[in-house]
Amino acid sequence: MNVGFFTERLPILALAASTLLFAERAPHLALLLLFVTVTWHFVGMGLVAVGWQEMLAKVFPVQFRGRLLGTAAATGTATGILGATLAAGILSRYPFPTNFAICFIIASVFTLISWGWLALTREPPLHSQSAQVPFGEYLSRLPSVLRHDHNFANYLAARVACVLSRMGIGFLTVFAVDRWGLSDAQAGLFGAALLIGQAAANLGLGNLGDRRGHKLVLEISIMLGVLAMLCAVLAPSPLWMYLTFVAVGALLGGERLSAIAIAMEFSSPEDRPTYLGLANTVPGVFSALAPLLGAAIASAAGYHGTFLVGAAFGLLAVAILHRRVREPRGRMVP
């Protein structure tokens, strides 16, 4: 609650203030403050991520988490569309920088409302018998988790391969525009197709994960990503790209909700924060490298090369999940 308020939510209000004060008089300072506040916000998201996931694991039984995350994500997508529409109206109606400041103020109000609802949540206490250890000793123990829990280590390897399989996603729109000379309006519809796939996956795959386990959902989601990359390579017309973006949306929706949910199931409640931290950090490092690798491959072998390499990493991720990772739900302690 406290860390999230000052590091995740307060920067949005600070962004509104810096826009009003400096956007016209000192644009370079305003741009610098933009980078500072956005970085401040995302660092805050990282700091509270494990605590937020641990709270969800305590509050919601395992058989409801997929539907919870899926419904929340689908609702967020729908309200995001409404927010984007509202923002477009504000940006066109008011002059700069007032228009952007209004958007940031509205955003900060809703983040504070969200914080208020979070404050009303009651987290059940967890009474641990384990002795507290210094932070340095805790960090030194992390490699032993991967050495001793081979199932979790294999899961992380699959997640890294999955992250690398997404290296071509950022180039899909550029590829389609370059190949068929599409207009901005046509390219903009790709975003709508992605949101449709994402919303459908959030609603359908969340329920499937609750009933059949989230390992299956991850396998399905990643295979949809593989099909998306192959569809882009083989597309004879821009109409195929809409199917590509629907599949990419399903990949992003299903993979996100099930990656969060399954990470809660690999360990006992006492060790769960450690597992959640590793599940967020290890793939996160490679998510920063994936687009750079994709850009290097695109420069050397074209967009098709990036898409094919991404598809290969996706197949590797599915193979590791299917052959080397056991469904953790059977040994999970609620």
Q: What is the pLDDT of residue 258?
A: 95
In a domain, 138, yes or no: no
**What would the DSSP string read from start to end of 28-79?**
HHHHHHHHHHHHHHHHHHHHHHHHHHHHHHHHS-GGGHHHHHHHHHHHHHHH
Q: Based on the domain organization, do 95 and 182 belong to the same domain?
A: no
If 0-12 CB within 10 Å is exposed, 13-18 middle and 19+ buried, where does residue 116 land?
A: exposed
Residues 6+ apart with CB under 8 A from 110: none
Mean pLDDT value across residues 124-138: 72
Mean of the per-residue pLDDT values of the chain: 91
What percentage of the chain exceeds 90 in pLDDT? 76
Q: Is the CB of residue 202 less than 8 Å from the CB of residue 77?
A: yes
pLDDT at residue 330 is higher than 80: no
Peptide bond into 27 cis (omega under 30): no
Token pair in block for residue 203 = 């609603």
Q: Based on the domain organization, do 254 and 197 belong to the same domain?
A: yes
Residues 6+ apart with CB under 8 A from 83: none
Q: Based on the domain organization, do 64 and 208 belong to the same domain?
A: no
Q: Based on the domain organization, do 156 and 17 belong to the same domain?
A: no
Q: What is the pTM of this model?
A: 0.86
Q: What is the pLDDT of residue 187?
A: 80
Q: Based on the domain organization, do 222 and 262 belong to the same domain?
A: yes
Q: Which is more confidently placed, 133 or 105?
A: 105
Q: Based on the domain organization, do 176 and 108 belong to the same domain?
A: no
Q: Is the CB of residue 298 less than 8 Å from the CB of residue 203?
A: no
In a domain, 168, yes or no: yes
- Count of structural domains within the chain: 2
Q: List, for residues 7-19, the tens digit of each pLDDT value.
A: 999 999 999 999 9
Q: Which of 81-95, 128-142, 279-293 has the lowest mean pLDDT?
A: 128-142
pLDDT at residue 185 is higher than 80: no
Instruction: Using pLDDT thresholds of 50, 70 and 90, give the confidence band for residue 332.
Output: very low
CA distance 65 to 260: 9
Q: Smallest Cα–Cα separation from 65: which of 200, 199, 209?
A: 209
Mean pLDDT value across residues 25-35: 95
In a domain, 208, yes or no: yes
Q: What is the pLDDT of residue 141?
A: 77
Q: List, for residues 201-252, the tens digit of each pLDDT value.
A: 998 999 999 999 999 999 999 999 999 999 999 999 999 999 999 999 999 9
- The CA-based angle 257-46-14, given to 5 degrees, is 115
Instruction: Using pLDDT thresholds of 50, 70 and 90, give the confidence band for residue 133.
Output: low
Q: What is the pLDDT of residue 118?
A: 92
Q: List, for residues 275-298, the tens digit of each pLDDT value.
A: 999 999 999 999 989 999 999 999
Q: What is the pLDDT of residue 334?
A: 44
Domain boundary (71, 103, 120) is at 120
Q: What is the pLDDT of residue 248?
A: 96
Domain boundary (81, 101, 120) is at 120
Domain containing residue 184: 149-327
SS (H, E, C) 96-163: CCHHHHHHHHHHHHHHHHHHHHHHHCCCCCCCCCCCCCCHHHHHHHHHHHHHHCHHHHHHHHHHHHHH
CATH number at residue 312: 1.20.1250.20
What percentage of the chain exceeds 70 in pLDDT? 97
Q: Based on the domain organization, do 177 and 280 belong to the same domain?
A: yes
Token pair in block for residue 114 = 């969200």
